[in-house]
Structure 1
């Protein structure tokens, strides 16, 4: 499937209907039924879609953000993914461009695959620039092993809003220069393996408290402010050469005359700002068109797809109404418009299929994760001397962590009560805290009783806190009153090992929190 005609041949040989089909990148699901798989094969074959974007299942967060369906764990997802890609490629007349969100590795979508640290972890140390290059490279190797050409990352949003419900830990931080240097390293590492990237979410999703899966966030800043901050990383990376830019679903009044039109379907923002003012002539891909920020406003089937294309998107990601979308584009678009997008898409395809990758296995992240853990560990409150003095006390150790997904509320509350009894007569407590989830919904998964218990400990005891997870979760705790607070960012074994060595005094914390918690 690696033989692909040239861009000029594609423009000459493909019919107009085939060309419009190439603009579409529907979602593919690893845990689909045989019937659903056959439906997608027919769609690929009949409508000549240009690519697929893989998700875990129809119940996963990106597809069903309200969480009404249960996510089924499939231990064999990776093999299923590889086989599905081969199967879908066979159904295609022209090779499919296969994409996935693998910001921290295939593990973002697929269980039992390598997981690398989150962007916020990498942002905790400027010495992680070389290591971030390696992260991009390793993730690209895993993509190639699976049959994926296009990693829809990195996130180059500057996360300046601590209440951001959807970016947060996915951003390299709140400093634009650090975001640029780390994102550049990630892109170059990915490119070194011949895998495509996409910087996102243009024109900047960092300063919002609304999740665009559910509603339309408003970025109410002047154009000068946006150029200074939100747009800065995009411009810097565009200047260096990037494969594609993903446009987010955002309301950015300062960049458009049509104040109610989201950025993802806004001609002023895509054709005007991104193309003309910022000089980007590569592939523009929409953020998922199923997201409620846009999908719920366009009940006429095909209209959203046409608006997205007409605004300047070349690739319509997670389009749900392909037949109607193709029809509406055929009726409304000019040949010039269609051919320009095909030229961009096909150039990307030629690049993706240039390297025939040998069969290879998945990477082992352990060594690289250990190096990143060593550079990132952050002593946020207190000093090494205070931890050393604490270590010599007769302290007790308390661990707050979910040991299984099936723990009931009653079991968690019983565990808290047990811990309360344990610490009654203690004056010094080493607290190892792992938030139940990485995302901020429902207080990162903490019960209010857990939050109250931790804050009571901090208030009444000498507490040294080691935190293994999204640092934004610390805003629920009065860490300024702790003897020391150390942020490890991840709950991987390598990060736990480094934290242990730090507590024992054999390792010095070198990281710095890359965001503000308030």
Structure 2
């Protein structure tokens, strides 16, 4: 960046910091609904006004309670509400429906509607099950640029909390964590940079408050630089006032000046602010009143941290401490353990003049104003119906994915190894350390190429390690995931000695790319992590971090995160190496492209299940992508109607005629790029044997658009039969031999050597159709493998795999798949009752391709949906994929455009395209620029550049017989893609 650019950036940054520090907005709940507030206030006795300032703890699942189950169980809490008229409840462990029911029970028992609070720093999941868990604030601290997504997270959390009947979130954490050994804040902080902490805290706070949720920034005046957990002791902050004022207080000032509704006071000993020995800041008037209320001008609600914590109870008993807290200036006492004693002590403080009744009344008014602001003046019970669904919207999953994606941080990238390129040169193993089974990380890695997986538990046996060492020597790249089970330093972040030593061995191979799923400070516990080939910090161990880290490694997404804290001298604050995306498929959810998951899934499920239920096909796989983002992948049904094996996303299908455009046309485009294949040359130019045939002067452009008068097909196996149905000599044999070396099906039928020449001669000598016009023909495609070999010098299959499939990571694409896959991974097709007389399973369905040994240009290719889609994504991206331009843009343009529209032909070169009048060959809403193909076995692929849509449909509709054509009659294949078009059109 030029010097002028840097200065301008600094100027803007300072301006924004200045805005955060100077613009002041009072809390929005003040002076709201005064008529209701005054009415309720007048109905309260002096004791009840005190009680409005008290929040007690509750759980909705006593069995899981980590707090005292005697004082937090619903019966005990309800008694406090009825007898003492407390003002609020703080919920801890439980579940959403139980909490909703107990909330309604408590509200019904209360004279004044209760304020319900939770610690939900990273979502309701911080306290209750079956709810959304957003990233920790440390993870969010790694995000650069706009904080709009953090605002959106706050907005979503607010809606979820309010749906559950919760009115206050004790968040955001505004502490600046600059102590790697901090046992209590750490991952809960946005980081160590006060400006970034302030910006992100304000965005989070605004998202919550602007959507109806009260907040409480914590832990004032700053808990970030401590080595003691205030849950267990009273931490000491030894910094001077200048340091505290300039650093720790900065985020709180920014929040206050932006309308913060609440602040939580920490239990800290801070001699620079209050010299009273062992006095927690919670009980300090100089800190709560003089500093927060007067100097910083905070007008909102001041909450105590939990009054049962050792940070306060170590030196001050329950009740007495609570009264001292109000004397210091707090408005709300959280987690008061002995309500009766607390009220008695507060009344004593009033009687002795340490606090006035007027002060109590003023604070009671504020609490009531907050209650009115959250709508408790028109209280309605929590509706339990659809609660789980409402608390887990797909929009939350999208925000989770996007936040995680933007946070992932590369800390080492030797020779720019990430993102991975040239997949055909890599033999990859993945090793998940600290896991007990194949991980999400590993499953996503497998979406991109062939990866062999190994799992090493936290405490492996020596035998496991010995086996691992022996197997890894044959790989040239190791993708290592370090799965840390603890986010806290108390548990050494979940890093065992065995994991650490194993990791060092892997790093020492000089082949390891390491991804750390855990607290960034864990890098201080790992021996020489900087020696890895590449190091990726994912900040947490979640399905999102694992999934997206794998996608980043392969270049489906860029790396843009920066370290929000200083770990050590090797990894200082703001470390982070940016890497680009390489145009590989990204895997996400429909919401990322603006679609509704539930609606899309319901509609596609309906169509696919109809296909299975009406026996149009035993099963199928549907995969859809837009803008290079795979948003729908689902398998339906079983391999066979009578079988029990469910279809898997990774199952291989016989692609039938989709071979034409995923193999033959691909190879021809490549040769066209290399100027070895001319579309305007004639058949004799590349097939010398055709020089004297009736096809000699047919131009390839005509041939490839099915308009060269070629016959549709020749029943080649019939030509090998005698009139009585027996096979002619030198055609087939039931036993394998030198003369009959090639299997047509299994071990029961073999074809005569060099019989392919007979097949090619039969095509050469076949008559032409009398009339010109479009006639779909297999014949020329049978010839392309020999043309490719003649022009390239490589075997057809080798050419495709070496130049395309392996580079794309599309390694399931293969002919004769039984060489590499078990039959349980391959979906069967027809029960052949007229030629091969057997169940076809792992052999090509097409008879002509079978007679060519399973390898032909018109049929014979097998693969799974994901790998087929990679080829088609390359087509959509005009030949670009994985950082390589594998085909030219010109080739894609030329081959996928209408060639003879003036003749009414809808064909491209090899590719099918939409008819000019809708005939059902393509999706109804497909654009004129779209292209695709169908396959006889029940396959369809379609790409639409105008919409950037990519569609793969795999099925075995020919099982058990080809006579079943319901898949076309019911319009299954095109109807599924039209669901997406219709959704996008809306």
TM-score normalised to the size of structure 1?
0.89
Q: 409, 413, 417: which is aligned to 1:382?
A: 413
Q: Name the CA distance, whole Å, in 2 between partners of 1:146 and 1:415.
A: 46
Secondary structure of the residue that 2:460 maps to in structure 1? Answer: helix
Name the counterpart of 1:28. Answer: 58
**After the TM superposition, which residues 210-225 of structure 1 pair with which residues of structure 2 at under 5 Å, given as runs?**
210-225=228-243
Among 499, 503, 506, the residue aligned to 1:454: 503
- 1:257 CA drift (Å): 3.2
* CA drift at 1:41: 0.7
Count of residues paired in the alignment: 491
Structure 1 residue aligned with 2:434: 401
Distance (Å, rounded) in 1 between the aligned partners of 2:99 and 2:369: 25
Partner of 2:344: 327
The structure with more radius of gyration:
2
CA distance in 2, matches of 1:231, 1:251: 16
Q: Distance in 2 between matches of 1:96 and 1:356?
A: 10
Aligned to 1:486: 536
Select between 334-343 and 91-100 the one with higher mean Cα deviation. Answer: 334-343
Deviates more, 1:465-474 or 1:210-219: 465-474
SS at match of 1:413: coil
Give the match for residue 66 of structure 1.
none
Cα distance in structure 1, aligned partners of 2:543 and 2:298: 42
Partners of 1:417 and 1:133 in 2: how far apart?
Answer: 50
Please give the secondary structure, in 1, of the residue aligned with 2:459.
helix
Alignment deviations for residues 119-165 of structure 1 (CA, whole Å, 9 cap, x no partner): 11111112350000010011111101111011110001011111111
**1:328-347 superposed matches below 5 A:** 328-333=345-350, 334-347=356-369
> 2:634 matched to which residue of 1?
none
- Asked if 2 retains the 8 angstrom alpha-carbon contact of 1:133 and 1:186, the reply is yes
Q: Does the aligned pair in 2 maintain the 1:396–1:423 contact within 8 Å?
A: no
Relative to 1, partners in 2 of residues 1:348 and 1:92: Cα closer, same or farther, differing over 3 Å? same
Please tell me whether the aligned partners of residues 234 and 314 of structure 2 are also in contact (alpha carbons under 8 angstroms).
no
> Corresponding residue for 2:797?
none
Structure 1 residue 441 displacement after superposition: 1.3
1:413 paired with 2:468, answer no
CA positional deviation for 1:368: 1.1
Q: Residue in 2 aligned with 1:516?
A: 566
- Tell whether the 8 Å contact from 2:434 to 2:499 is kept in structure 1 after alignment: no
Q: Is the 8 A contact 1:150 1:195 kept in 2?
A: yes
How far apart are residue 458 of structure 1 and its match? 2.3
Alpha-carbon RMSD across the aligned residues, in angstroms, is 2.3
Shift in Å at residue 455 of structure 1? Answer: 2.7
In 1: Cα distance, 2:497 partner to 2:410 partner:
26
Structure 1: stretches of 5+ with no match in the other structure: 57-73, 405-409
2:555 alignment counterpart? 505
Q: Judge conservation of contact 1:4–1:95 (CA < 8 Å) in 2.
A: no
Confirm whether residue 245 of structure 1 aligns to residue 263 of structure 2.
yes
Distance 2:307 2:262 in 1: 17
Q: Summarize the Cα distance change of 1:53–1:429 in structure 2 as closer, same or farther, 3 Å threshold.
A: same
1:281 counterpart = 2:299: yes
User: What is the aligned partner in structure 2 of residue 464 from structure 1?
Assistant: 513
Tell me: CA distance 1:83–1:302, structure 2 relative to 1, closer, same or farther (3 Å).
same
The question of 1:151 aligning with 2:169 is answered: yes
| Kept in 2: contact 1:398–1:419 (CA 8 A) | no
Displacement, 1:256?
Answer: 1.3
Match of 1:407 in 2: none
Residue in structure 1 matching 2:321, options 295, 304, 320: 304
For the Cα contact (< 8 Å) 1:176–1:233, is it kept in 2? Answer: yes
Paired with 1:231 and 1:507, the residues of 2 have a C-alpha distance of: 37
What's the offset of the Cα at 1:492? Answer: 3.1
Decide whether the 8 Å contact of 2:40 with 2:112 is kept in 1. no
1:316 aligns with 2:333: yes
8 Å CA contact 1:366, 1:494 repeated in 2 = no
CA contact (8 A) 1:128 1:375 kept: no
Unaligned runs of 5+ in 2: 1-32, 64-68, 351-355, 438-455, 569-986
